[in-house]
Amino acid sequence: MKSTMILILMCLTGVGLQAQDSWETAQADGRGTLKVFIQEEAPFAFYEEGEFQGIEVDILRKFADWVYSRHGVHLSIEFKRYRQFVRLYEDVLSTENVVGAAFVTINDLRSKEVQFTPTYLQNASVLVSPVAFPTMSSFKQFERIFGEKTALVIRGTTHEKRLMEIRDEYHDGMRVKYVEEPEQMLPHLLSEDRNYYAMVDLITFWRFVKANNGGLKIHRAATVSQEQYGFILPQESDWYELFDSFFNEGFGFTASEDYENILRKYLGDELVPSVMVK
């Protein structure tokens, strides 16, 4: 194992996990367990070729490395995998000493319920459709272009909130179909009837395009820029100050070569400048 002697335990079912520790307990014992509730979605977290990997997974591994080098504490990280964001978020609210990793957008409403770590990624919400749709250059055109079509979105996300704002202001008859994960959107978007559009994040759109050699486009008039992603913690968690130091001490993790290498590994050169924290 690496010199940090960190054990990363991959839990596939969530059964039989050890009790998670507070930072106070881990520091006193010189070792501890950090339980991470993580939403499985590439490129943030996914299981491939017998290994759990992704942007969030690699950042958390670097966090464990840093904890050992900075504080001499050995961390074992246990991942409990989720498919649904709403369930993960609810479980973070009701569980002590856990970390939620679900590419969560930092906003004022959620900040009243959870603690956010400093930002580890920037993103944007985009309205996407098949290329055959007329391009919307102004919201005055929204009802004409999308009026008879169906919007795809994941319940409980900031994308749903933005879509509902568009509905209330520009098209109160909007048809909406809820899905549980982005992968469920793509067959609809690429179906022959061309009857769907979606509100997603820029990284998801990039993945769609890469997987299908184009076929979709962004309606830039609806783009919401500079969304910020952070890990989430219960309000009383004492792990927050440690994460804050990891991201902000000195120049901070997001100024490091390790951080940029993680993004390039999973996103490629063309997307990294748009999403990395500067």
Residues 140 and 185 placed together within one structural domain of the fold = yes
Specify the number of domains making up the chain: 2
Residue 3 lies in a domain: no
Residue 52 lies in a domain: yes
Residues 63 and 19 placed together within one structural domain of the fold = yes
Q: Are 110 and 236 in contact (CB under 8 A)?
A: no
pLDDT score for 19: 56
- Binned at pLDDT 50, 70 and 90, residue 72 comes out as very high
pLDDT score for 141: 97
Q: What is the CATH number of the domain that holds 145?
A: 3.40.190.10
The CA distances from residue 72 to 17, 82, 251, in Å, are 24, 31, 21
Residue 269 lies in a domain: yes
Look up the pTM and report it: 0.79
Residue 271 lies in a domain: yes
Residue 1 lies in a domain: no
Residues 93 and 156 placed together within one structural domain of the fold = no
pLDDT score for 44: 95
Residues 205 and 266 placed together within one structural domain of the fold = no
- Binned at pLDDT 50, 70 and 90, residue 10 comes out as very low
Residues 80 and 15 placed together within one structural domain of the fold = yes
> Tokens 């120049």 belong to which residue?
251
Domain hosting 65: range is 8-105+113-119+229-275
d(CA 158, CA 156): 7
Residue 53 lies in a domain: yes
CB atoms within 10 A of CB 101: 28
For the segment 181-229, what is each residue's pLDDT rounded down to a tens digit? 888 999 999 998 899 999 998 998 998 888 888 889 999 999 987 789 9
